[in-house]
Amino acid sequence: MKERCTKRLRIILSNLPSNLKGLNVLDLGCNVGYFCFELAKRGAKVTGIEERPDLIVIARKVNEIYDLDIKFILATLSSDSISDLDQRYDVVIYLSLHHHIIKTQGLEESRKILNNLSRIGQTMFFEMGQTNEGKNFSLDWATRIPDMGDRPKEWMREEVLIHSEFNSVVVCGATKSHGVDRFLFKCERSRLKQKLIQVVQK
Ligand X SMILES: C[S@@+](CC[C@H](N)C(=O)[O-])C[C@H]1O[C@@H](n2cnc3c(N)ncnc32)[C@H](O)[C@@H]1O
Residue whose C-beta lies closest to ligand X: 29
Which is closer to ligand X, CB of 91 or CB of 101?
101
- Please pick, from the candidates 96, 116, 130, 177, the single residue that binds ligand X as defined by CB under 6 A: 96
Integer-rounded Cα radius of gyration of the chain: 16
Q: Considering the complex, what minimum distance in angstroms separates the CB of residue 28 from ligand X?
A: 6
Determine contact, residues 90/23, Cβ cutoff 8 Å. yes
Among the listed residues 42, 94, 98, the one whose alpha carbon sits nearest the alpha carbon of residue 70 = 42
By the rule CB under 6 A, 36 interacts with ligand X: no
Alpha carbon distance 11, 172 (integer Å): 7
- Please pick, from the candidates 55, 114, 120, 187, the single residue that binds ligand X as defined by CB under 6 A: 55
- Please pick, from the candidates 11, 16, 46, 95, the single residue that binds ligand X as defined by CB under 6 A: 95
Provide CB contacts within 8 A for 188, sequence distance 6+. 122, 123, 124, 166, 167, 168
Q: Considering the complex, what minimum distance in angstroms separates the CB of residue 147 from ligand X?
A: 20
Alpha helices in 14-151 (DSSP H): 34-41, 53-66, 79-83, 98-105, 107-120
Which is closer to ligand X, CB of 54 or CB of 150?
54
Which is closer to ligand X, CB of 51 or CB of 165?
51
Binders of ligand X among residues 99 to 158 (CB under 6 A) are 100-101
The window from 12-20, 46-54, 144-152, 172-180 that contacts ligand X (CB under 6 A) reads 46-54
Amino acid at 89: Y
Alpha carbon distance 27, 36 (integer Å): 7
| Per rule CB under 6 A, count of chain residues that contact ligand X | 15
Alpha carbon distance 16, 26 (integer Å): 14
Query: Which stretches of the chain bind ligand X, using CB under 6 A?
Result: 5, 29, 31, 49-52, 55, 76-77, 95-97, 100-101
